[in-house]
């Protein structure tokens, strides 16, 4: 269970750092002259929409994993870590082929035409909801080897860290404190994700807590 918890923490910490999760919110907030409170509120709403779709799919993946674990013992020992390894390799391959994101991309022209804050936030929520994080879904299958408690741990850790880090990054960005260079993260999201998934897969196979 500690392995599931620590893996969730690692993914939960890395996932929201990618610029396409929070820079659009800073850009819109400054363009629309939102107050910090309005910007942070929008961050929590859109971040929750993003995590909600991921958790819903994760629960479905977890259900399948639990059923398989109950019937086939090899799922716990081999299949779950193998899925993480394969997903990690796929992410690395995609990174080498292209540096373009598959996550939600900000359509600035469309949002500029939206006059109300509600319309802008709604557009962001829809975009974020329709772009669940696949790397977390792969880990749900690993978590399912520990039953519903494992699925619950991943969901809580992922939700808490994603919303917290997104809110902090937007806050610091609005204050002008956040000056670190996001170019590498922006260009190599898949590479970083792939490496993390491979490491988690190897740990899941070779290390027993």
CB 11 within 8 A of CB 199: no
Residue 53: predicted pLDDT = 92
Neighbours of 108 (CB within 10 A): 12
Enclosing domain of residue 6: 2-206
| Owner of token pair 């956040």 | 178
- Sign of the C-alpha dihedral, residues 158, 28, 103, 42? positive
Quick: pLDDT tens for 100-151.
444 444 454 555 545 578 888 888 898 888 888 887 888 898 888 889 999 9
Task: Give the total number of structural domains in the chain.
Answer: 1
Asked if pLDDT for residue 27 goes beyond 70, the answer is yes
For the residues of 144-185, what is the DSSP string, one character each?
GGG-HHHHHHHHHHHHHHHHHHHHHHHHHHHHT------HHH
């Amino acid at each position: 269970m500690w392995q599931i918890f620590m893996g969730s923490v690692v993914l939960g910490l890395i996932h929201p750092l990618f610029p396409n999760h929070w820079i659009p919110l800073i850009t819109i907030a400054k363009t629309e002259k939102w107050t910090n409170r309005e910007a942070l509120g929008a961050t929590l709403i859109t971040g929750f929409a993003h995590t909600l779709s991921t958790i819903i799919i994760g629960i479905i993946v977890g259900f399948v994993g639990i059923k398989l674990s109950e019937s086939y013992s090899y799922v716990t020992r081999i299949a779950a870590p193998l899925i993480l390894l394969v997903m990690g390799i796929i992410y690395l391959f995609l990174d080498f082929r292209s540096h373009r994101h598959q996550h939600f991309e900000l359509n600035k022209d469309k949002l500029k035409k939206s006059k109300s804050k509600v319309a802008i936030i709604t557009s962001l929520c829809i975009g974020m909801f329709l772009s669940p994080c696949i790397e977390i879904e792969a880990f749900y299958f690993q978590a399912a080897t520990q039953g519903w408690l494992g699925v619950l741990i991943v969901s809580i850790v992922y939700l808490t860290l994603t919303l917290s880090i997104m809110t902090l990054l937007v806050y610091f960005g609005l204050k002008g404190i956040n000056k670190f260079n996001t170019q590498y993260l922006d260009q190599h999201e898949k590479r970083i994700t792939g490496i993390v998934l491979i490491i988690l897969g190897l740990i899941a196979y070779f290390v027993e807590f």
